[in-house]
Amino acid sequence: MEQKGRIFLILVAMVFHGTESLSDDDGPLVLDYYKEKCPLLEEIVKHNVEVAVFKDPRMAASLLRLHFHDCFVMGCDASVLLDSFGGITSEKQAGPNLNSLRGFEVIDQIKYILEEACPRTVSCADILALAARDSVASRGGPSWDVWLGRRDSLQASFSGANQFIPAPNNSLETLISNFKQQGLDIEDLVALSGSHTIGKARCLSFRQRVYDVNFKGQYEIYDKYRRYTSFRRILQSICPKSGRNNDLAPLDFMTPARFDNHYYVNLLQGKGLLGSDTVLVTQDHEGEILKQVWAYATDEKLFFASFANSMVKMGNINPITGNQGEIRKSCRFVNT
């Protein structure tokens, strides 16, 4: 498979090598933005994402998370990809990202190929948006049209990454407020939380609640299932009380490598891994969120449609367009 991939990339580079990038048009994000500028863009991104996910299935969740963590800090502008250099302090060093975010090398590889095929044409921010979509589709999830035309930020926000990226122990009220700041509503919060149907979380993210003496109380409404006790023991076996902060547990124990609606089934059975997962059903005093969780748990097509719609909405958070920002040659550094 790797050999076929190299042949494909060489052919792409041969066809487009030397092609000059066109000037960027002012205006909002559009479909087919690169139709003339870089017609094989989506094929290149999809191929490389599929290869990366084939080698490491967890990479699908990692690339999806990269896009999420990018958009929640200054908008979808690829600021999350910048390394510390000069006056820039990388967002990668912020609490929610340090020793946690992955997939940077995959984005680097895609960018390298695109620079050979279509120099100074495709933004790193657009690569992130496409890679997130293709990652979800590669694991059996929905696909959607990605609106393009983003440009790359000239700066990063270390403080913003610490402030605006949701934490795994956030209360429901905090999550709702956090999403509202980004122009996303409660329905978006519940739908996008479904991204936790794939991927893994570090012990550091959930150990505290596993050993909380009030753990049972968090699931009083699920006592009839009598499943939280065995689930708790499983988590404790993965994460002892001390040490091993970077040991991993799947966010979805039922189908950890497949993008489906089992995340919501897990919540209804008291098997949400993170505190920020369980609050969707334990702190919903009005019951409206619980209704949405039930709807997604019983209708996967409905969840897929809602998730795709919310991903498009999230991808439109404060993009840089027109003559603002730049098209980076390397996603890790601003152009010199």
Q: For the chain, what percent of residues have pLDDT higher than 70? A: 87
Residue 303 scores a pLDDT above 80: yes
Question: Please, which pLDDT band fits residue 245 given cuts at 50, 70 and 90?
Answer: confident
Torsions phi, psi of 264, nearest 5? -75, -35
For residues 132 and 66, give the distance between their C-alpha atoms in angstroms, rounded to a whole number.
8
> What average pLDDT does range 198-218 have in this prediction?
77
For residues 15 and 19, give the distance between their C-alpha atoms in angstroms, rounded to a whole number.
9
| Topology adopted by domain 2-165 | Peroxidase; domain 1 (1.10.520)
Annotated binding site for substrate: 166
> In a 10 Å sphere around its CB, with 0-12 CB exposed, 13-18 middle and 19+ buried, how is residue 195 labelled?
buried
Annotated binding site for Ca(2+): 70, 73, 75, 77, 79, 91, 197, 252, 255, 260
Q: Which of 167, 140, 188 has its CA nearest to residue 69?
A: 167
Cα angle 294, 134, 255 (rounded to 5 degrees) comes to: 45
Annotated binding site: 70, 73, 75, 77, 79, 91, 166, 196-197, 252, 255, 260
Spell out the alpha helix ranges (H) of 72-123: 104-117
- Which of 47, 67, 69, 262 is catalytic? The answer is 69
CA 59 to each of CA 66, 185, 200: distance values in angstroms, whole numbers, following the listed order: 10, 28, 10
Q: Which of 152, 83, 104, 116 has its CA nearest to residue 17?
A: 116
Residue 236 scores a pLDDT above 90: no
Question: Please, which pLDDT band fits residue 235 given cuts at 50, 70 and 90?
Answer: confident
| Topology adopted by domain 184-313 | Peroxidase; domain 2 (1.10.420)
Helices vs. strands in the chain: H and E counts, helices first: 14, 2
Catalytic residue list contains 262: no
Question: Please, which pLDDT band fits residue 286 given cuts at 50, 70 and 90?
Answer: confident
pLDDT in tens, 92-143: 999 999 999 999 999 999 999 999 999 999 999 999 999 999 999 999 999 9
Annotated binding site for heme b: 196
**DSSP assignment of 195-229, as one string?**
GGGS-EEEHHHHHHHHT-TTTGGGGGGGGGG--HH
Q: Which of 165, 84, 65 has its CA nearest to residue 334?
A: 84
**Could you state, in order of their start, the residue ranges of all structural domains in the chain?**
2-165, 184-313
